[in-house]
Amino acid sequence: MCSCEVNYSCACGKSMPLIYLFFCKYCVTLRCPKCVSHEVDSYYCPHCLENIPSAEAKSMKNKCTNCLECPNCTNIVQVRSAQVPMVRREAGKVKGFGQFKKVYYLQCSFCFWTTRDINDLPDKAAPNGPWIEAATEDTWMINIINYYRNLIQREKFEMEKRKRQRRGSFLGSLGISEKLLPFSKLSRTSFSMNLAGSGQYDENIINNFTPVEPDEETEPADEKYYSAPGEPYEYASIASRINQPSNQVNTSSELKPNCTHLMVKRSQRCRECEHNLSKPEFNPSSIKFKIHQIALRFVPRFRIVKAVTLEADKYCSIQCSLTNPTEYNLPVEFLPLSDDHPYNSKITADVILPQKELILAARDDTAEYGAEGLTKEFDDDPDIVIERRMNKLKFIIQVKPYSSGEVRIGFHLKYKYKNMTPSIRPEEQKDPEDVNVTPCVTVCLGKV
């Protein structure tokens, strides 16, 4: 397969590959990720696969406290055990018992970073329990949070105040006094109470806040960084420092393990009819879906089979393929773009499409294990159709680039969609209804 880009147009006009699109069976149209509403179903840890309620995930700042990541390579660290001698102090001297005790520490199996490299994180006597304490925010971070929190409250207060002033000016232009309106006193009292509750901010914190100013001159780096050889993970990377903003360090031995970020299971809903297009199962260890209306299961897939060398002002034969994802025979037609189509300005080549209707065989998962379906007879034109195998059809189109540069073509792919779901059909309609669907397909064939 060549590295050509094939995009399908959504109902909103955006073009993207078919694998990113959804198909709404109720609207009978394609939907892109911008045309669907995303809803969070559940939070879970990707390592321990534990479901976490929304309120608890918010209080834990969307992090799992049981699973820790390596600060260097972000792999999950494992608990390791070691034997250390037991000691006691007598008269200011340390003496050994001759006995050993088992202690536990964390180690990354990829870069071999351990918590023993950190001075303020000693070994633990038990394998379970919290390894890192709750991080205490620095004074400068607390000041920044308080400043922006008060700034947001002041903006909300001023916004509500402007709304109140616009309402009063509108009534004054009509010659109506606000005192004559029913429940005006009650409304004014409730409005002032709402402002007092929503606008609690400290003006002194906003006025006395001093932002950090950058230094004009920076200190030169130590010469050892240029001359002495160093290990790959000896110094902390920029990504490691960003993950721990309150712990600005230079070497990786001063970094502490990070808590694993939680992941979410989302369901997508059509914005027009508000029906679910995708809904995963609640179990974090399951990759199945309760509802999964991706476009790959409903729309025939157009692909470029064989790459050819294109020449300007000369027709070139390009082998393409169509795959039928449905369980019934699918007739497909190719239609040219209309003159007022917005994609006409981007087309840089002339294309000769098949004039006849192409019939795609139904998808049969058992056909590849037997001889059935491989040699099914269809009335195909040998000048157009190259090969037919199960639900896949290979054919030829002619493309003539206008000039040198990027070659782009576009057309409409018309096919008949059958509503096979009985629950969304009218009661009086027993047979599936055929609906014509005509998505716009744009293909980038490379450069001349």
DSSP state of 214: P
In the predicted structure, residue 36 carries a pLDDT above the cut 70: yes
Q: What is the pLDDT of residue 363?
A: 84
Higher pLDDT, 18 or 91: 18
The C-alpha atoms of residue 296 and residue 198 are separated, in whole angstroms, by 49
Task: Give the three-class secondary structure for 376.
Answer: coil
Task: Give 421's pLDDT tier (boundaries 50, 70, 90).
Answer: low
pLDDT at 265: 92
**For 299-432, where are the alpha helices, taking DSSP H only?**
none
Please compute the mean of the pLDDT values over residues 322-330 and round it to a whole number: 87
Distance CA 205, CA 142 (A): 12
Asked if residues 420 and 432 have their Cβ atoms less than 8 Å apart, the reply is yes
Task: Tell me the pLDDT tens digit for each residue of 370-419.
Answer: 555 444 567 777 788 888 888 888 888 888 888 888 888 888 899 888 87
Separation of alpha carbons 428 and 438, rounded Å? 27
Residue 115: closest CA among 105, 102, 103: 105
Quote the tokens at residue 407. Answer: 């070659």
Q: Model pTM greater than 0.75?
A: no
Do 57 and 41 touch, CB atoms closer than 8 A? no
Q: What confidence score (pLDDT) does residue 195 get?
A: 44
Residue percentage of the chain with pLDDT more than 70: 80
Whether residue 232 has pLDDT greater than 90: no
Round to whole Å and give the CA distance between 226 and 246: 28
For residue 69, how many other CB atoms are within 10 A of its CB?
A: 20
The mean pLDDT value of the chain amounts to 79
pLDDT class of 116 with cuts at 50, 70, 90: confident
67 pLDDT more than 80: yes
N-term to C-term CA, the chain: 18
Which region, left, alpha or beta, applies to residue 438 given φ > 0 means left and ψ of -120 to 50 means alpha?
Answer: beta
Q: Is the pLDDT assigned to residue 304 strictly greater than 80?
A: yes
pLDDT at position 43 over 90:
yes
> Which pLDDT score is estimated for 44?
93
421-429 long-range Cβ contacts below 8 angstroms, 24+ apart: 421/25, 424/25, 424/26
Dump pLDDT digits (tens) for 162-192: 877 766 555 555 555 555 454 444 444 444 4
| Residue pair 435/28 in contact by the 8 Å Cβ criterion | yes
The values of phi and psi at residue 7, to 5°, are: -120, 145
| CA dist 140 → 8, 154, 207 (Å) | 50, 21, 16
| pLDDT for position 186 | 44
Mean pLDDT of 292-315: 86
Q: Which helix (H) or strand (E) holds 125?
A: none
Instruction: Give pLDDT, residue 248.
Output: 73
Pick 295 or 141 by higher pLDDT: 295
pLDDT tens-digit series, residues 68-84: 888 888 888 888 888 87
Mean pLDDT confidence for 347-366: 84
**Per-residue confidence band for 230, with pLDDT thresholds at 50, 70 and 90:** low
pLDDT for 267: 92
Tell me which residue has tokens 């058992």.
366
Q: How confident is the model at residue 193 (pLDDT cuts 50, 70, 90)?
A: very low
Using the structure block, give the residue that is written with the tokens 């629950």.
423
Torsion of CA 214, 217, 218, 224, to 10 degrees: 170
Residue 263 banded pLDDT, cuts 50, 70, 90: very high
Tokens of 367: 């056909």
Residue 326: pLDDT band (50, 70, 90) is confident
pLDDT of res. 93: 61
**Cβ within 8 Å of residue 10, ≥6 positions away:** 16, 21, 30, 31, 32, 34, 35
Mean pLDDT computed over 89-108: 72
Share of the chain above pLDDT 90, in %: 5
- Max Cα distance, the chain (Å): 102
Dist CA 102 CA 363 (whole Å): 61
